[in-house]
Structure 1
């Protein structure tokens, strides 16, 4: 659906040259939710704006639904953009217009006649849960309701792609969850390809099928979201993952440990298996779970636990070997001796 080939965006002035996006190539499949993650200044929003040519890349190709948008201009580009909706952190609603009028604006600009506009607007307001707010003004709405209006407006011309630029950053956690649920609903029911820009891995965990991590204008890691969480390669990615899967043990807890500390990862169906109890039954060791949790990445379980294994060193090694055979991802964190 979306193919970015060697995208570069350079800002030049008489005194400086700043590379916003540095040779980025990505392929986003039809019907998936794709996340682009990075800190401020990483280039993620600039890359997103290159997809609908709000920012024209210095070089490269932007292919959306088989069409290279950089080969279009004028009327043809405006028509192509109608298949790409966009929502922003700041909502950008017209304060002097009602909810109905804000959503209808995009349809009016596209030349849709009045009767069809009204039918479409009411359909969209129902979809986003605001059928009873049609005659209210933006000032009368909560932040979440304003974002729902902007989503309805972005969907007005039945786009194939929806771009979300930090769309939940201004919202509280509860409202963020409701907006993410709405985006999942839109993706499931309408089959729209969604690209989400964010600095929060929690959002990737909740809704994204795949994601890319950006730093200094480059993509440093990319892949299925589950694999990114389960096996991050880059230090930056690990830093982001830690905001969701934080496993720092308190120093006082470590002081009371007398065995070997191991980190266990349970992937998918393994999260429901009795691996630890089987190990304890079959080996002459004792075990204490010190910390652990099961997260769901796009509804697929990923369990991570830290365990103290106590016993003779040779028995501990046999127990760890058993765990490694069953789980594949077992890390010895520290051997504590008192």
Structure 2
């Protein structure tokens, strides 16, 4: 659906060149929700604007639905953009127009007759849950309602792609959740391909099928959202994930413990297995769960448990080695102080 090939965007000032996007390549599949995450200045919004040529790339290729956008004339590019909807953090609504008029405006620009524009706009307002707000003005709406109007307007010309630039950043957590649910509903009901720009990993966790992490204009990691959360490779990705799933164990707890503290990560079906109870039954040790959490990414479980194991040091060591053969990730955070030979730290 969307293919970005070696795309770069360089801004030139009198004194120096600034690289906004640095040789980025992405393939976004039809019908998926794809997240692009990064801190401010990472280049993610510039990349998004290059996708519909609001920013013209310095080099590289942009294909949407097998159409090379950079090869199009201005007239053909305007026509191609009708299949690409876009929503922004700041809503960008016409304050002097009603909600209905805001949604219908995009259809007017496309040359649709008035009755068709209004009928289509009303159907879209019903889709986003604002059919009762058609005659109100943006100033009368909450932030979440304004964003719903923006979404309806972006859908006016029945696009195949919806680009979302920090669409939830200005909203409170509850409103953010409602907008994400709406985007997921639109994705499922309309089969729309959605690209989300965000600095919040929670957004990726909630609705994205796949994602890319950007830093200094480059994509430093990309893949299925679940795999990114379960096994992040890049240091920046790990920092982002810690904002959503915190595996931190307080240092005081480690100092006070006299046993061996082990952190275990459960992925997929492992989260429902009886690994911990089997461990305590099979080895002559005692276990105390210090921390446990299970998250769901794309309806797949990702669990983390931290346990203190006590008993004969050799038996504890055998139990830890057994865990390593079962689970993808096992890390010893603190060793039994009574052990003559500490258990080797997991890789």
Give TM-score, length-normalised by structure 1. 0.98
Q: Is contact 2:96-2:137 (8 Å) kept? A: yes
**Per the alignment, in what secondary structure is the counterpart of residue 19 of structure 1?**
strand
Bigger shift: residues 300-309 or 17-26: 300-309
Q: Distance in 1 between matches of 2:148 and 2:239?
A: 31
- The match for 1:70 is 70
- The match for 1:130 is 130
- The match for 1:299 is 299
Quote how far apart the aligned CAs of 1:313 are: 2.1
Residues 19-56 of structure 1, C-alpha deviation per residue, up to 9 Å, x if partnerless?
A: 00000000000000000000000000000000000000
- The match for 2:111 is 111
Q: Does 1:265 align with 2:265?
A: yes
Q: Distance in 1 between matches of 2:244 and 2:13?
A: 40
Q: Is contact 2:310-2:336 (8 Å) kept? A: no
Residues 178-224 of structure 1, C-alpha deviation per residue, up to 9 Å, x if partnerless?
A: 00000000000000000000000000000000000000000000000
Unaligned residue ranges in structure 2 (runs of 5+): 339-347
Residues 121-167 of structure 1, C-alpha deviation per residue, up to 9 Å, x if partnerless?
A: 11100000000000000000000000000000000000000000000
RMSD, aligned CA: 1.0
- The match for 1:220 is 220
Q: Distance in 2 between matches of 1:16 and 1:326?
A: 54
- The match for 1:201 is 201
Q: Is contact 2:266-2:328 (8 Å) kept? A: no
Q: Is contact 2:254-2:261 (8 Å) kept? A: no
Q: Distance in 1 between matches of 2:52 and 2:104?
A: 21
Quote how far apart the aligned CAs of 1:168 are: 0.2
Q: Distance in 2 between matches of 1:55 and 1:16?
A: 19
Quote how far apart the aligned CAs of 1:325 are: 1.9
Quote how far apart the aligned CAs of 1:172 are: 0.2
Q: Is contact 2:37-2:212 (8 Å) kept? A: yes
Quote how far apart the aligned CAs of 1:336 are: 4.4
Q: Is contact 2:260-2:336 (8 Å) kept? A: yes
**Per the alignment, in what secondary structure is the counterpart of residue 170 of structure 2?**
coil
Quote how far apart the aligned CAs of 1:331 are: 1.6
Q: Distance in 2 between matches of 1:206 and 1:7?
A: 28
**Per the alignment, in what secondary structure is the counterpart of residue 213 of structure 1?**
strand
- The match for 1:159 is 159
Q: Distance in 2 between matches of 1:261 and 1:24?
A: 42
Quote how far apart the aligned CAs of 1:15 are: 1.1
- The match for 2:211 is 211
Quote how far apart the aligned CAs of 1:254 are: 2.0
Quote how far apart the aligned CAs of 1:60 are: 0.3
Give TM-score, length-normalised by structure 2. 0.96
- The match for 1:255 is 255
Q: Distance in 2 between matches of 1:50 and 1:303?
A: 38
Aligned residues: 338
Q: Is contact 2:254-2:333 (8 Å) kept? A: no
Bigger shift: residues 87-96 or 289-298: 289-298
Bigger shift: residues 100-109 or 324-333: 324-333
- The match for 2:236 is 236
